Structure 1
Amino acid sequence: MTEAQNTQSNQPLEPNGAEASARDGQGEAQAQTQQEPQQAGLEQRVAELEAKLAEMSDAYLRAKAEVENTRRRAEEEMAKVRKFAVESFAESLLPVKDSLEAALAIETATTEQMREGVHVTLRQLTQALERNKVVEISPAAGAKFDPHQHQAISVVPAEQEPNTIVALLQKGYLIADRVLRPALVTVAAAK
Structure 2
Amino acid sequence: MTDAYSSAGSQEPAEDDGRPVIRDKRRIDPQTGKVRDSGAAEGDSAVSQQNPEPGPEQPVDPTGQQAPGSTPQPEAPAGAPGSGPAQGETDVQNEGGADERAAELQDQLLREKAAFHNYRELMKRERPKDRDAAIGSVVEALLPVMDDIHLAREHGDLAEGTPFAKIADKLESTLTRFGVQSIGAKGEAFDPTLHEALMHVQADLPEGSEGTTVVQVMQPGYKIGDRVVRAARVSVADPA
Q: TM-score range by the shorter chain?
A: 0.3 to 0.5
Q: TM-score, normalised by structure 1?
A: 0.47
Q: TM-score, normalised by structure 2?
A: 0.39
The higher relative CO (CA closer than 8 Å, separation ≥ 6) is in 1
Give the helix-richer structure, 1 or 2: 1
Q: If you compute each CA radius of gyration, which structure gives the higher value, 1 or 2?
A: 2
